[in-house]
Amino acid sequence: MQTADIRRRWLDYFERNGHTVVPSASLVSDDPSLMFTVAGMVPFVPYLSGLVPAPYPRATSVQKCIRTNDIEEVGKTPRHGTFFQMCGNFSFGDYFKAGAIRYAWGLLTSSEADGGLGFDPEDLWVTVYEEDDEARGIWRDEIGLPDERIQGLGKDTNYWSTGQPGPAGPCSEIFFDRGPAYGIDGGPATDDDRYVEIWNLVFMQYEIADVQSKVDFRIVGELPKQNIDTGMGLERVAFLKQGVDNMYEIDQVRPVLDRAAELAGKTYGANHDDDVRLRVVADHVRSGLMLISDGVTPSNEGRGYILRRLLRRVILSMRLLGVEGATFPELFPVSRDAMRDGYPDVERNFAFISRAAYAEERTFLRTLHSGIEILDDAVGRAQADRTDLAGDTAFLLHDTHGFPIELTLEIAEEAGVAVDEGVFASLMQEQRDRAKADAKAKKGQRADLSVYKELRGLGETLFTGYSELRHESRVLGLVVDGATAREAREGEIAELVLAETSLFAESGGQDSDQGLIVGDGFEAEVLDVQKPVPGLIVHTVKVTVGTIGLDARAETRVDADYRRGATQAHSGTHVVHAALRDVLGPNAHQSGSYNKAGYLRLDFTHSDALSAETKSEIEEISNLAIRSDYDVVTREMDLDEAKSIGAMALFGEKYGDRVRVVDIGGPWSRELCGGTHVSSSAEIGMINLVSESSVGSTNRRVESLVGLEAFRNFAAERAIVQQLTSGLKVPRLEVVSKVQDLSAQLKAAEKKIAAFEAQQLAQRVPDLMAGAERVGDVRAVIASLGSVGSADDIRGLALKLREQFGSEAGVVALAGDAAGKPVVITATTAAARDAGVKAGDLAKLGAGVLGGGGGGKPDLAQGGGTDPARIDPALAEIRRSLQG
């Protein structure tokens, strides 16, 4: 049974049983506390928690998920994958335990001919929470499962909660027994791989408080509505139904594994270590494909960092399999073909996906080459010293260059060098501890969304600001210091919920409105407007006059100048996006934006920097569109209708069934957008592109000033040009050539000065050699040179001095002040190195005294610092080292 067939059977079964089929949400989670959608229930949390009224009594979905907390287990166990699909059915105050259990058992055990999954009831075991006699009774009495195949377990495995005060409840899990060939008898309680969990039923029954841990909390009482959240692991069921041993061998994953094995010249099943690497490749390629399809691109932070880590683990695994060149152009198309039945977007978006993935591979292969040079140098030093490779070096390679410790160990082992794994492990643990502390701190900063539950229950906030800047409304709720309040007094910062508002809440890249909220006897300055939960608009205000009370009449007043600037910027973003696509082609797709009054920032998919001519062309097309005074038309329609007329949906954005389409010049710019816009393009005023930069291997960013701010910037540049023409006494059109001439003259003068200074230093060689001293086993020149032009001058002098020693054991240690920064250069002859003296060690020692760092090769090294006054003590420390 193919994975896509299992998926269809799930959705058809629950649709026949009255569930609304909900499409999978994006892997990029709406929950601010989560980077990714990590479980099938995540998109339904607002409904399950009661924060937002559920739009349907029961629902079903097959949700895409990403989870990387067990990334080190990928490939080693049958069921750990970073990307997985969770089949879920949900009840929001409708059916409860008996219904959920009956539905699960019915789908699992009904025949394949009848649309079921065809599991033999004799192969299924069940666990329940040890105190949940109701669930045990249903399994035993209604389903007819023998009591010996129903096992009671504790809170640590069979009780669900978010880890925060709120809804919680017992769980019941269904396991498949793979038979004695896979482990010992005894049921799921043995925690053995023989028993594979395929379905988890969560009975949200209670409200909990005083949460100390997963097993330590207080049950406050029963929830007003008892909910059901169940999930079946699609990959787990697939590998059982397909008769393979693990999720890496199912039809959606195995083709990538086989292609990787072919590229590496390996036979899957012949070697355990190679098998693990092949599974890692297959899993991570699929995860990368799905993440990029949902708009995530590689970067050094957040979601992009997780994606980058996955892709680099593929590259490194392929290298450990013996493949050093690029493999993504071979592997990603195979994964696309395996996944497109369930997810057609991977085929539609493949040009974007492949561009992002292939560019990341090219970049990392270059990084890998430089990292191997560092490792080879470290291995060479360890061989010469007959020591282990330092643990901090292994950590640096891991942390900075993305080398897993396995790669470092393998290369070191080939050279006959051991690695100090204890220090490496210690540094890794320190990094994990810092990450956990940071995550805990960030978690503590997040607002508890439960405070909005009652407010959202009063209804959806109506936004009236598309057609008006003022609106009379009523105060529905107040939040002060994170808790609901009956009033907010003068001087307090409060969150204000109204029945309707004309103030725009930050969304779709557009910053929130500025303005006031006024009423009888009070006035409040609007600091921010957000949508903390779907359908609820919350105004953060500072009460400047009087006291705001519940149910008071309140008028929202948008700052008209700010709104005008914001609409100019947002419409300007659409214009620049269309101009980019005109110049660069349809693959230049917006991947992020931010706009506020007078300013816009647009990120777009493109690998190469834009030339000055290209930037000018984009700017000119944008301003020609403004001059053309195109009509800006907004329409509401169904999402499918919007897509059918070519409206552009942007990566990473979430859209409901009804969408707002914004046209500028008809189809020239047609995008889905919920922001505020001008009524004609001429109202934008002016576009002034002020910068273009890289924000990743496949993403560029343009920034522009808009409207009056664009004019002011041009006026400021005009004033600068006027000052230059006056000071240089040349016409405006000759300013550039005059500045170029002056720059060339300055560079020539600097070159002459540098040559003179180098000559002066070279003339000091005889005097410095005359002062050479016997220090320990070597003869050394140790000297402070005072002020010098650059570190290169000191290095050149050190090399000349080293030549004077010939075959003698000689050491040079020179230091100087280069433009206020102390520099120390050390050099050694071959005889000195044979005596155990290394330039890198001496430079590092001296740099430490200077308040900086340094090092290098045994024959030549450099260090620096921050305090030139410490040059003499630094040289004295080097002398003491040589004496020792």
- 570 annotated as belonging to a binding site for a ligand: yes
Helix/strand/coil for 770: helix
Report which of 232, 187, 199, 226 is spatially closest to residue 96, judged by C-alpha positions: 226
781, 814 contact by CB (below 8 A): yes
Tokens for 11, please give them: 């959705």
- 471 annotated as belonging to a binding site for a ligand: no
517, 557 contact by CB (below 8 A): yes
**Residues paired with residue 222 on neighbouring β-strands, in sequence order:** 206
Report which of 334, 331, 289, 338 is spatially closest to residue 310, judged by C-alpha positions: 289
Rounded Cα distance between 810 and 830, Å, is 8
Report which of 685, 660, 664, 665 is spatially closest to residue 675, judged by C-alpha positions: 660
Rounded Cα distance between 538 and 727, Å, is 55
Helix/strand/coil for 151: strand
User: Phi/psi class of residue 546: alpha, beta or left (left: φ > 0; alpha: ψ in -120 to 50)?
Assistant: left
Contacts (Cβ under 8 Å, ≥6 apart) of 95 = 58, 103, 228
Rounded Cα distance between 544 and 522, Å, is 8
Rounded Cα distance between 487 and 839, Å, is 71
Secondary structure of 201-228 in the HEC alphabet? EEEEEEEEECCCCCCCCEEEEEEEEEEE
End-to-end alpha carbon distance in the chain: 75
H-run or E-run covering 124: strand 124-129
20, 58 contact by CB (below 8 A): yes
Rounded Cα distance between 519 and 556, Å, is 9
608, 544 contact by CB (below 8 A): no
Report which of 337, 358, 340 is spatially closest to residue 256, judged by C-alpha positions: 337
Contacts (Cβ under 8 Å, ≥6 apart) of 867 = 822, 850, 851
Q: Are strands 58-66 and 20-21 parallel, antiparallel or unpaired?
A: parallel
Contacts (Cβ under 8 Å, ≥6 apart) of 526 = 503, 512, 513, 514, 515, 516, 517, 539, 540, 541
**Residues paired with residue 855 on neighbouring β-strands, in sequence order:** 862
DSSP string computed for 350-388: HHHHHHHHHHHHHHHHHHHHHHHHHHHHHHHHHHHHT-P
- 673 annotated as belonging to a binding site for a ligand: yes
- 87 annotated as belonging to a binding site for a ligand: no
Report which of 844, 845, 846 is spatially closest to residue 868, judged by C-alpha positions: 846
Q: Read off φ and ψ for residue 771, nearest 5 degrees.
A: -95, 5
Tokens for 766, please give them: 């005889």
Report which of 157, 140, 138 is spatially closest to residue 195, judged by C-alpha positions: 157
**Residues paired with residue 457 on neighbouring β-strands, in sequence order:** none
| Single-letter amino acid code for the residue at 607 | S
Residue 578 is classified by DSSP as H
CA distances from 434 to 430, 439, 440 (A): 6, 9, 10
Binding residues for Zn(2+): 570, 574, 673, 677
Annotated binding-site ranges = 570, 574, 673, 677
